């Protein structure tokens, strides 16, 4: 009798925590238009990375061009604090080379312009509003991110008509990656970079924060959220407790969330928790499906901690626990 009562209490507690206040949401009766905003935000030096590397990577043949060939309307949009006219003066040649006529630059002017998180939150509110009002998707394409060819196409096609978002783990890499000849060729509109090639480049140029995420080291950085274990020269097993959402099927509740929070940093924290609890996100399990890298300054230092051999746990939040169960495979050439 005692065990029955105990089990009923436990089951009721689980119901309260997982179902009662946040039921699963899947709006299968409403399908998005074939319209996609490709969202980015940047100013200063980040514009250099955006136009020279991010944009060429998203316009590799099997990314945005392939979506366009299947009838998707693609609208790249850049939010910035810089003057649009000055951006066109500096990067007009690259804009003409890669971006369509509907490319849009929106300047953000806030009294709190010195606070990056306020600027970022204003930008995300704007793109959420546009996408919700126009029943469109949007893709996150940060100015310090380089995508492999096929990744964006695969991500969109994986969730289109499912009314859910798409997320993935990604590695941080050093800026010397930009000196690699394959990256230079891709940036000039030459040869594309496949996911296996990008994985190999990433592993060669890992930032210290990820170099020391090797969970076979006794002293490592796995406490910060990422665990990487080399299986062999081609395969890596990755546990990422806070994957990034790249393709967004936006709802009004998302707009209201960021309006209430006023903090874009919740993108892979509380907002990710909302997506996970409401069954609104799919997380990539393989680099062959999706892969990108994030350029990271050498000024960001890795802080290792001892006694963490074999660790892959970081955080005790609901989304941390769920994402911790996803074993991602990165495959190098």
Tell me the per-residue pLDDT of 177-223, one tens digit each, with 9 for 90 and over.
999 999 999 999 889 999 999 999 999 999 999 999 999 999 999 99
Domain tally for the chain? 1
* Domain-located, residue 3: no
pLDDT number for residue 109:
85
Which residue is associated with the tokens 């299986």?
A: 231
pLDDT number for residue 24:
59
Helix (H) or strand (E) holding 251: none
* Domain-located, residue 23: no
* Domain-located, residue 306: yes
Q: How far apart are CA 263 and CA 114, in angstroms?
A: 14
What CATH number has the domain bearing residue 183? 3.90.550
pLDDT number for residue 20:
47
Q: What are the tens digits of pLDDT across the range 144-171?
A: 999 999 999 999 999 998 889 999 999 9
Residue pair 194/148 in contact by the 8 Å Cβ criterion: yes
pLDDT number for residue 27:
58
Low-confidence ranges of the chain (pLDDT < 50): 19-21
* Domain-located, residue 260: yes
* Domain-located, residue 4: no
- Determine the structural domain holding residue 158 and report its residue range: 31-331
* Domain-located, residue 76: yes
* Domain-located, residue 6: no
73-80 and 35-41 strand pairing: parallel
* Domain-located, residue 246: yes
């Amino acid at each position: 009798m005692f065990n029955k009562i105990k089990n009923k209490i436990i089951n009721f507690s689980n119901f309260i925590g997982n179902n009662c206040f946040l039921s699963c949401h899947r709006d299968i009766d409403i399908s998005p238009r074939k319209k996609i905003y490709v969202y980015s935000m940047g100013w200063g030096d980040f514009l250099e990375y955006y136009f020279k590397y991010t944009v060429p990577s998203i316009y590799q043949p099997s990314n945005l061009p392939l979506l366009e060939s299947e009838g998707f309307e693609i609208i790249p949009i850049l939010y910035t604090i810089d003057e649009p006219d000055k951006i066109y003066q500096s990067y007009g040649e690259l804009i003409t080379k890669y971006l369509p006529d509907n490319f849009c630059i929106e300047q953000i002017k806030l009294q709190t312009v010195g606070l990056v998180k306020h600027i970022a939150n204003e930008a995300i509110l704007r793109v959420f509003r546009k996408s919700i009002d126009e029943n469109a998707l949007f893709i996150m394409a940060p100015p310090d991110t380089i995508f492999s060819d096929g990744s964006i196409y695969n991500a969109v096609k994986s969730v289109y008509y499912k009314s859910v978002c798409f997320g993935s783990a990604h590695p941080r890499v050093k800026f010397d990656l930009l000196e690699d000849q394959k990256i230079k060729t891709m940036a000039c509109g030459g040869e594309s970079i496949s996911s296996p090639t990008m994985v190999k480049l990433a592993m060669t140029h890992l930032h210290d924060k990820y170099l020391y995420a090797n969970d076979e080291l006794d002293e490592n950085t796995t406490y910060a959220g990422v665990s990487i274990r080399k299986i062999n020269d081609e395969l890596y097993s990755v546990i990422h407790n806070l994957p990034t959402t790249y393709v967004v099927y936006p709802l009004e509740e998302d707009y209201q969330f960021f309006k209430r929070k006023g903090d874009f940093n919740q993108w892979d924290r509380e907002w990710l928790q909302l997506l996970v609890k409401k069954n609104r996100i799919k997380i990539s399990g393989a680099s062959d499906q999706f892969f990108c890298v994030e350029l990271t300054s050498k000024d960001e230092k890795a802080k290792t901690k001892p006694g963490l051999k074999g660790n892959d746990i970081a955080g005790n939040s609901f989304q941390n626990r769920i994402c911790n169960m996803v074993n991602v495979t990165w495959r190098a050439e």
